[in-house]
Structure 1
Amino acid sequence: MAQAKRPNRTFEGRKTQALGRAGQGMNLSGPRIRQARLDRNPQWSQEELSQAVAERFGLELSATTISKIERAERSMYDFELRALCAVLHLDANAVLDLPHPVSQPAGEQ
């Protein structure tokens, strides 16, 4: 039997964009999410992380989806990053490799 052809998801006039730097895949934070999950004591499986996110935020992220995020094969929405960081007790700025906000001197805005 012939294999189904994947749909062409490119649109006329739309330029393709590289996401992240070469070799980084679809997100920057997936490997840090994975490391935090593995560093827990006791260590969580992807299924346990999925259940924790569902219980705390009502967000459905399957173990397969988490695996793809961790391998940077899938991008993630900001609310997914927020939920994963909260459950794993991570600072989102650190996960995204962003500097912490610098406080402004009094009187300046």
Structure 2
Amino acid sequence: MLSRLDEKTEGAIIPVMWRMHVDDLAGHLLERGGWQPLNLPAITEADVLDETRQNLGAYDFAPQYQQRSVAVDGGLIKWSWFERFKVAPAREPEDQIVQNWGAASTAGELNEYSV
């Protein structure tokens, strides 16, 4: 893109986009440094568009309305559901470990893939 500037010393490149992922173009540029973000969220953190947020869900609402690449509460999986341990907790004989892995939330040709 730099080669497209008429005036290399005075020109400006201004990417305008929704933040859809932490490693999208904006995330990549911010990580490299030298870029100043201008975030214009649709609302403040005050509850104004609650119905829209409920209809879309936090995962889609955060990038489209709040210019945030990841939902504050963690998207589909809430980080508050997990505990961190420095040492494995003691287990009782009747304890069970149950795992359920469902990587894709919706199947379809136009939906996001999962690995």
One fold, TM greater than 0.5?
no
The structure whose RCO (Cα within 8 Å, separation 6+) is larger is: 1
How high is the TM-score relative to the length of structure 2?
0.23
TM-score, length-normalised on structure 1? 0.23
Structure with bigger helix share is: 1
Greater Rg by CA:
2
